[in-house]
Amino acid sequence: MQIDAWQFLAGLMLFLLAMALVEESVHVLAGRRFKTLIAANTSSPLRGIFSGTVATAVLQSSSVVSLMMLAFVGARVIPMRRALLVVFGANLGTTATGWIVATIGFKLDLEAMALPLIAVGGLIQLLMSKRQAAQTGRLVLGIGLLLLALTFMKESVDSVTQLVDPQVLANFSAVEFLLFGTVFSAVVQSSSAAMVITLSLLDAGVIDLGSAAALVIGADLGTTSTVLLGAIGGTPNKKRLAMGHFLFNLVTDLVAFVIRVPLLWLAGFMADPLLTLVAFHSLFNLLGLLLWVPLIGYFADFLESRFAASHNVESLYLEDTAGAVPEAALSALQRESGHLLSRVVEHNAMVFAPVPAAVDADVFTEAYEKARRLEGEMVSYALDLPRAELSETENERISALLHAARDAQVAGKLVKDVVTDYLRVAREDPQLFVGLTDAQRSLYQRLARLADELERVTADELEELALAVEASHQQCHEAIYDAIKTDGLDEARISSVLNVNRNFFNSNRAMLACLGELVQVEAAAAA
């Protein structure tokens, strides 16, 4: 008699495929809701852990939740310590798979349940044209394939007891089982698959409960490879989160391995060995939370000091934000637009230093070029987003943010084009632009403040600023005409100063347009 290796491998591959189907369909059907839930419910450690646990239990993927956290941290929606709490909660959420398999998967006729689900789910997917309905069909199909995969693996493992003497495996050390679980989980990229196989071996009597516990601990550590691989060559925040995830699991799993015997005794209130194993899995993950949560502040600070940030980009929020998470991507673009406006206000204000002779036109030009590169990064980032998968409202929001960025950059370019002329006139005839200089300084101070608190800007403030800009332009225009009459400015100088005044006026209007667009986007996002 031979072990049906093909049946086992087919069952394992089918299980991984079914998990991917379930993950994808749930991600489409409810993923957006869970992203919103996670982003909105991390204000306290308990809420963050609960959000991570629930989201992972439903989405059936701690990796998906970790990637969400990466995106939100990059967009500055959630600070590192809150993201870590969600990731810690996700570890506890992964134990839900074991509970489902142990309580249902080994108690019922799985094949009898699987075949109708596969047939109905496949039929729904083929016949339904609407995306939501088709994804529902994929979800049903995925669940059916999961049950069928469990049947294949369970039947193939049952035959092992006829060929392998359990006493042989009894000679294997707990460390060997631990290492095997780590390597296997890392190879198949699924701790859920490792748990199912371990439950199958335990149910068939091939391994005892102690060996199964060591396997499960190893699988818990091996699953960190998914995030570690994703962090290779990634951004600093991605590396920090991956490092945090790995260290959390490493310490938790080492402690669990050392005290596995008393933990198994605690979990022994479950009479069924399968239920004892999954209770043990939940217990040591809960123990990890108890160990790490009190240290979360120190741990987050430690991670923040690791890995130098890249200096090759100008953006603050885009580099670490995954475009596959629309909420985080839109938030990153929104914050980056405000950042760009602040940068333009800052470098335009350089021109109006109290002493014109102290203004370095080269420094201004360098700051302008950096802002220009920032706009380019924003456009490239927006073009890489899956616009076809976004709602009409989200696409309109992206367009408005890019339009605001263009207005901000135009405001900088208009000043750049006349900065040399302005500085020459201001140095030679300081009184000519006194009124304009004072008005510009006041305007830039107000714009800098408003750019930092977009949610508080009112329509009345915007209108008041627009009137002030118009009045300043007209006042400077009249001062120039007075100078022409009294000082006899030559034609070349007349054209130059009028052009300076016009460019500053148009630059101010562009900045106000940018501010107005950002205020509207902020209001729409908050609604």
Cβ-in-10-Å burial (0-12, 13-18, 19+) of 107 comes to: exposed
Predicted local distance difference test score (pLDDT) of residue 163: 46
C-alpha 306/C-alpha 336 separation (Å) is 24
User: Token digits for 390?
Assistant: 């976004």
* Residue whose tokens read 């200096």: 311
Predicted local distance difference test score (pLDDT) of residue 103: 77
Q: Using alpha carbons only, what angle is made at residue 275 by residues 269 and 278, rounded to the nearest 5 degrees?
A: 110
C-alpha 522/C-alpha 527 separation (Å) is 9
Residues 6+ apart with CB under 8 A from 309: 236
What is the SS3 assignment for 312-363? Answer: CCCCCCCCCCCCCCHHHHHHHHHHHHHHHHHHHHHHHHHHHCCCHHHCCHHH
Predicted local distance difference test score (pLDDT) of residue 28: 61
Predicted local distance difference test score (pLDDT) of residue 408: 92
Residue type for position 240: R
| CA distance readout (Å), 389 to 24, 121, 137, 371, 493 | 14, 23, 19, 30, 55
Q: How many CA atoms lie within 13 A of 16 on its CB side?
A: 13
C-alpha 197/C-alpha 177 separation (Å) is 13
C-alpha 456/C-alpha 520 separation (Å) is 11
Q: Which domains does the chain have, with CATH numbers?
A: 5-304 (no CATH), 326-526 (1.20.58.220)
C-alpha 464/C-alpha 446 separation (Å) is 11
pLDDT tens, per residue, the chain with 527 residues: 344 667 767 776 776 677 667 656 655 655 555 555 566 666 677 778 887 787 777 666 666 677 667 666 655 667 778 888 888 888 888 788 778 777 776 555 556 667 787 888 888 877 776 666 777 787 778 777 766 776 676 666 555 444 444 455 557 788 988 888 888 777 666 677 778 778 877 887 778 888 889 989 988 888 777 667 656 655 677 678 788 888 999 999 999 999 999 999 988 887 788 889 989 999 999 999 999 988 888 888 888 777 765 556 777 777 655 555 667 778 888 888 888 998 898 888 888 876 666 677 788 888 888 888 888 888 888 887 776 667 788 888 889 999 999 999 999 999 888 888 888 877 777 777 777 778 888 888 888 888 888 778 888 888 888 888 888 888 888 877 877 777 666 676 777 888 888 998 999 999 999 999 998 888 877 66
Residues 6+ apart with CB under 8 A from 354: none
The model's pTM: 0.58
Predicted local distance difference test score (pLDDT) of residue 287: 92
Predicted local distance difference test score (pLDDT) of residue 525: 73
Predicted local distance difference test score (pLDDT) of residue 2: 45
